Amino acid sequence: MGPGRHCAGRAGAGAAGQVNELPCSAAAERNKHAIFEVLRQMLPAQGRALEIASGPGQHVACFAAGLPQWTWQPTDYQASVLPTITTRVTQQGLANVQTPLQLDVTATQWFATEEPVPCFNLIFCANMLHVSPWPTCAGLMQGSARHLALGAMLITYGPYLEDTVATASSNLEFDLSLRALNPTWGIRRRAEVEMEATKAGLCLSARHAMPANNLLLVWRLASDLD
């Protein structure tokens, strides 16, 4: 991934100061269509999706527009980003996106009401593991194992270090810059992510190489694959 990956650009065509200008990630603008193409080919016609770490909501808005038979639940740890998601979804007239919720993946309970346990056909999480402390990985895997419906999948997207694939120099630089910003951040080793998945009862079922040295990883309940 090159420089500008986390550029906090401004979306919207209006002049400065107009209300349709929303915080946005330049990286998400660049990668959302490539991710959507993979989703479109993998997902059934309808279902219920949970997005973890939605940030400004560009992914959920793109996917909800392209897969209108799915309902989408955006979430993020930071309550302050939730109004941006609501505004983006409202501006785009998306009726299949639910009110964004505050959700910390490291919490032992993800939802205020878990009786019955909310289940999803897809849990999607982009660009969180390297921009949060390592325990978010265990939290994501354990929470996903609790909330995936039978036959469902968790998809994680972002950069990873792989033992058998040379790391792009841009990703090495990106990793150093993340660790300099926050010592608890950094690009994660895929093998270590897999270990957390295994502990939670998930296993890696597909790996898609994506533009800009990112990976899209598909995780399923190990019990589904028995």
Ligand X SMILES: C[S@@+](CC[C@H](N)C(=O)[O-])C[C@H]1O[C@@H](n2cnc3c(N)ncnc32)[C@H](O)[C@@H]1O
Residue 70, φ and ψ in degrees, nearest 5: -95, 150
What's at 169, amino acid-wise? Answer: S
Strands 120-126 and 148-158: parallel
Q: Is 105 in the site for ligand X (CB under 6 A)?
A: yes
CB of 14 to ligand X, least distance (A): 22
| Nearer Cβ to ligand X (125/202) | 125
> Which one of residues 11, 22, 25, 61 is an interface residue with ligand X (CB under 6 A)?
25
Which tokens is 153 given?
Answer: 């999948």
Per CB under 6 A, the segment of 88-96, 104-112, 163-171, 178-186 that binds ligand X is 104-112
> Which one of residues 136, 142, 144, 213 is an interface residue with ligand X (CB under 6 A)?
136
Runs of H (alpha helix) within the chain: 26-42, 58-66, 82-91, 135-147, 169-181, 190-200
Pick from 47, 41, 79: which is nearest to 64 by CA? 47
How far is the C-alpha of 57 from the C-alpha of 42, rounded, in Å? 21
> Which one of residues 72, 85, 88, 104 is an interface residue with ligand X (CB under 6 A)?
104
Q: Which of residues 35-94 bind ligand X (CB under 6 A)?
A: 52-55, 59, 76-78, 81
| DSSP per-residue string spanning 152-180 | EEEEEEE-EEBTTBPPPHHHHHHHHHHHH
| Nearer Cβ to ligand X (118/163) | 118
> Which one of residues 131, 193, 200, 216 is an interface residue with ligand X (CB under 6 A)?
131
Interface with ligand X (CB under 6 A) = 6, 25, 28, 52-55, 59, 76-78, 81, 103-106, 126-128, 131-132, 136
